Amino acid sequence: MRRGMRARICGTGSALPRREVTNDELSKIMDTSDEWIRSRTGICSRHLAVEESLTALAARAARQALSEAGMEAAELDMILAATLSADKLLPSLACELQRELSAERAVAFDINAACSGFIFALQTADAYIKSGQYGKILVVGGEILSKLMDWNDRSTCVLFGDGAGAAVVRADSEFGILGSVQGSDGARGEVLMCEDRKNNNPYVSNTKDLSYVSMDGQEVYKFAVRTVPEAILKATERAGISVDEVDLFILHQANIRILQSVSKRLKIPMEKIPMNLQTCGNISAGSIPILLDFVNRRGMIQRGNKIVLAGFGAGLTWGASALTW
């Protein structure tokens, strides 16, 4: 183990599909309205992939992150991609990115923890760096969730969007991840789920239709408003800092009411909880890295700032990391 080494984020990037769809546009194809969506979620529009693949979006985000980090793709030791909606069942999104970026020496694999995926991938990168096995890692989170939606289910499809975000991390002895926490509760997994392809061998009779994302919104909300504050408190405790010392909280962008609840429970000013869900919606594993790039490129993070990343998702899963920028 490399004593004192940790993963430090040294570059970020993001990419959204060109097509932005407003609430008013959705109201023309389903029984909904801008007021109904906005008042319940805070979402005004979302980007939906029409021409873009997830691989293309993720590669665009990755190139931005590598450029900011001053690193060539050929230097990467590893590529970790968090997604539940890769373009192909195989090869993985991470391997597709390895090809697109010409990162020949990088080990590449995917992680599926839904909306917690980027946090889980970032913590995996941190563990590899702490072990001394790798020192330069690309972490990507991205989704094309629109292909998994039932566009007749207004309670679910209006919430989600498409896009990808990326972060390059490298070994550092001074800055980086100070403390992390993660968890899973498979016993409650059915409150947010989507089934994969059905068994289709010659000895099985299968006439079921394709499955789409289904969600028990009330149960997910109750899970989130309890779990996210607890995760933040545990991560900051492990980092040896207080919640008051944190400069920014980069939280999963699922619903404005959840963000407001976290703010209230932890007595965090909303000014410390940036949002982009108004124009992005919930992009699952892409949510946190896209928001991180959003605030980074607007100069909202300075070297030495203390940041908390936290999210929750299907599984059920949750995680948080406290770090020094």
Active site residue: 252, 255, 280, 296, which one? 252
Rounded Cα–Cα distance for residues 308 and 313 (Å): 17
The answer to whether the CB of 120 falls within 8 A of the CB of 319 is yes
Rounded Cα–Cα distance for residues 149 and 85 (Å): 11
Rounded Cα–Cα distance for residues 208 and 229 (Å): 40
Active site residue: 23, 112, 255, 282, which one? 282
Question: Would residue 282 show up in a list of annotated catalytic residues for this protein?
Answer: yes
Tokens of 243: 């919640």
Question: Would residue 44 show up in a list of annotated catalytic residues for this protein?
Answer: no
Q: Which of 41, 23, 40 is nearest to 32 (CA)?
A: 23
Active site residue: 23, 47, 95, 115, which one? 115
Question: Would residue 252 show up in a list of annotated catalytic residues for this protein?
Answer: yes
Rounded Cα–Cα distance for residues 93 and 72 (Å): 19
Rounded Cα–Cα distance for residues 226 and 230 (Å): 7
- Please report which residue ranges of 132-198 form alpha helices under DSSP H: 154-157
The answer to whether the CB of 117 falls within 8 A of the CB of 78 is no
The answer to whether the CB of 223 falls within 8 A of the CB of 270 is no
Torsions phi, psi for 135 (to 5 deg): -125, -15
| Catalytic residue annotation | 115, 252, 282
